[in-house]
Amino acid sequence: MPSLSAIARRHTELAPGDIAWLQLLQADWQVIADLSFADLVLWLPDREGGGFWAGDQMRPTTGPTAFVDDIVGTFLPLGRRSLVDAAYELGRIAREGDPEWRDDVPVRVEAIPVRHDGRVIAVVSRNTNLLGVRTPSLLEINYLQAASDLANMIAGGLFPSTAQRSDHADSPRVGDGFLRVDAEGRVVYASPNGLSVYRKLGLTGDLTGHRLTDLTRELVPSKKRPDEETLSAVLGGRAHRDTELGSAGGPGDGVSVIARSIPLRPKGEHIGAMILLRDVTDLRRRDRELVTKDATIREIHHRVKNNLQTVAALLRLQARRIGSEEAVSALEEAVRRVGSIAIVHEILSQAVEETVAFDDIADRLARLVTDVGSTTAQVAVRREGSFGVLSSEVATPLAMVVMELMQNAAEHGYADGGTGEIVLRAERHGAVLEVAVEDDGKGLPEGFDIDGATSLGLSIVRTLVESELGGHLTLGHVPDGGTRAGFTLPIE
- Cβ neighbors of 118 (< 8 A, separation 6 or more) are 157
Candidate from 145-154, 210-219, 244-253, 434-443 with smallest mean pLDDT: 244-253
Q: Which residue has the higher pLDDT, 405 or 192?
A: 192
What's the chain's average pLDDT?
Answer: 86
What gap in Å lies between CA 292 and CA 94, rounded to an integer? 55
Return the higher-pLDDT residue of 290 and 266: 266
Q: How far apart are CA 408 and CA 56, in angstroms?
A: 59
Write down the pLDDT at residue 374: 47
Q: For 344-368, what is the mean pLDDT?
A: 76
- Beta-bridge mates of residue 474: 486
DSSP code, position 223: G
More reliable by pLDDT, 159 or 292 = 159
pLDDT in tens, 417-445: 778 888 999 999 888 899 999 988 888 77
- pLDDT value at 412 more than 90: no
Least confident of 201-210, 237-246, 283-292, 400-409: 283-292
Angle at 194 between CA 188 and CA 200, to 5 degrees: 125
Using alpha carbons, select from 366, 334, 341, 359 the residue that is nearest to residue 437. Answer: 366
What is the pLDDT at residue 47?
Answer: 95
How distant, in Å, are the alpha carbons of 244, 387, 425, 435 from that of 432? 44, 10, 14, 10
Position 395 scores a pLDDT of 83
Please give the average per-residue pLDDT across 310-329, as a whole number: 80
The answer to whether residue 351 scores a pLDDT higher than 70 is no
**Average pLDDT estimate for 237-260:** 80
CA distances from 439 to 21, 418, 435, 455, 482 (A): 58, 13, 14, 19, 5
Average pLDDT over residues 37-56: 96
What's the angle, vertex CA 77, arms to CA 75 and CA 80, rounded to 5?
115
State mean pLDDT over 369-385.
72
With bands split at pLDDT 50, 70 and 90, how would you rate the model's confidence at 252?
Answer: very low
Give the C-alpha separation, 123 to 41, whole Å: 8
Query: How far apart, in whole angstroms, are the C-alpha atoms of residue 400 and residue 412?
Result: 18
Give the residue among 407, 399, 394, 424 at the shortest CA–CA distance from 458.
Answer: 407
60-80 pLDDT, tens digit per residue, is 999 999 998 999 999 999 999
Kindly tell me if the per-residue pLDDT of 451 is higher than 70.
no
Do residues 236 and 185 make contact, with C-beta atoms less than 8 angstroms apart? yes
Does residue 373 carry a pLDDT above 90? no
Tens digits of per-residue pLDDT, 280-297? Answer: 988 888 877 766 666 666
Q: How confident is the model at residue 304 (pLDDT cuts 50, 70, 90)?
A: confident
Neighbours of 320 (CB within 10 A): 8
**Size of the chain in residues:** 492
Q: What is the DSSP letter of 136?
A: P
Between residues 168 and 484, which one has the greater pLDDT? 484
